[in-house]
Amino acid sequence: MKNIVCYGEVLWDVFPNHKKIGGAPLNVALRLQSLENKVSIITKIGEDTAGSEIKDFIEERGVLIENVQVDNQFKTGEVAVTLDENGSASYTINFPRAWDYIKLTESAKEITKKADAFIYGSLIARNDVSNNTLNALLKVAKYKVFDVNLRAPHYTIDILKHLMLEADFIKFNDEEIFEIAKALNADTTTLEETILFIASKTNTNSICVTRGGEGAILYYQNTFYNNDGYKVDVVDTVGAGDSFLASLIDKLLKEFSPQESINFACAMGALVASCEGANPIINQEKIENFIDLEYKK
């Protein structure tokens, strides 16, 4: 069991006909907890029914809530989600929301210092208050995992550069890494070349890039590992990348081989995409059986 802290937004994903609790840091935290880790989340909700429901949900799932702050001025986060014919999601993210105003507390600093990993994203940096708190926590964290989530217009290349430089491990999707590399004047064409370019620019030798239904590529301690993905009937892609990251970090921290780790993470991401919403219940046995069946095909 590892001790992991996730920092950032919690919110309601509002679909055309229903809504579900989400936010990338929370999705990652929930999946890590389901994989038998001790997980805390540092975030902020509004003093409203939507926030109370999220807090209850987090506590019921076993994620520690001592650092879930409550704001009496700003509302709980909400995101409008639309799905295309392939189940791929796009988002309209309301601003400002309570999670834009996470304060630095001694409690947050202490749990971050003690954690085996501190996981953060780029969306939380869109407002100075939460961004300043993030930067303070990055100073005390011992292993920092940056989950890039480019949600226009909520990012700048300067902030992304800073967050990458702070990271020990960076996770992108393929569109994100090419966009950032282009902004940094990369002269690369292949995904592998682009990963090496980012590694050189950020002094980070642990980078993972997801490729949708085509799996993922992992650059870990100067070696490439690959998984071509598992074919499933996609219901929606919401949270699939978050569960992928949680599963990958879980296995790497527990010293599974990089290849075993990326295989497990790709299987988890595929199974999440085959279900509705970001946080379907999927246990370790189901993942292992799924991988076994895929290899027998």
What are the tens digits of pLDDT across the range 65-118? 999 999 999 999 999 888 787 767 778 899 999 999 999 999 999 999 999 999
What residue type is 61 in one-letter code?
A: R
Would you tell me how many other CB atoms lie within 10 Å of the CB of residue 136?
A: 13
Taking the C-alpha atoms of residue 39 and residue 33, their distance in angstroms, rounded to an integer, is: 6
Question: What is the spatial order of strands in the sheet that 19-22 belongs to?
Answer: 19-22, 11-14, 77-83, 89-93
pLDDT band at 297 (very low <50, low <70, confident <90, very high): low
Taking the C-alpha atoms of residue 244 and residue 150, their distance in angstroms, rounded to an integer, is: 17
Q: Specify the length of the chain in residues.
A: 297
The mean-pLDDT minimum among 76-85, 108-117, 139-148, 247-256 falls in 76-85
More confident residue, 183 or 213: 183
> Contact 131/124 with Cβ under 8 angstroms?
yes
Give phi and psi for 32, each to the nearest 5.
Answer: -60, -40
Here the tokens at position 224 are: 């490439």
| β-bridge pairing 117-121 and 19-22 | unpaired
Average the pLDDT over 266-271 and give the result. 93
What residue type is 109 in one-letter code?
A: K
pLDDT at residue 219 greater than cutoff 90: yes
More confident residue, 243 or 276: 243
Tell me which long-range contacts 22-26 makes (C-beta under 8 A, separation of at least 24).
22/79, 22/238, 22/239, 22/277, 22/278, 22/279, 23/77, 23/99, 24/121, 24/123, 24/147, 24/149, 24/239, 24/241, 24/242, 25/119, 25/120, 25/121, 25/124, 25/147, 26/54, 26/58, 26/63
Mean pLDDT of the chain: 93
- Class at the top of the CATH hierarchy for domain 3-296: alpha beta
pLDDT tens, position by position, 72-84: 999 999 998 887 8
pLDDT tens, position by position, 278-288: 788 888 888 88
> Contact 98/44 with Cβ under 8 angstroms?
yes
Domain boundaries, the chain: 3-296
Taking the C-alpha atoms of residue 197 and residue 203, their distance in angstroms, rounded to an integer, is: 10
pLDDT at residue 121 greater than cutoff 80: yes
DSSP H helical ranges for the chain: 24-34, 49-60, 106-114, 128-140, 157-166, 174-183, 191-202, 240-253, 258-273, 284-296
> What does R_g of the chain's alpha carbons equal in angstroms?
18
SS3 8: coil
pLDDT at residue 23 greater than cutoff 90: yes
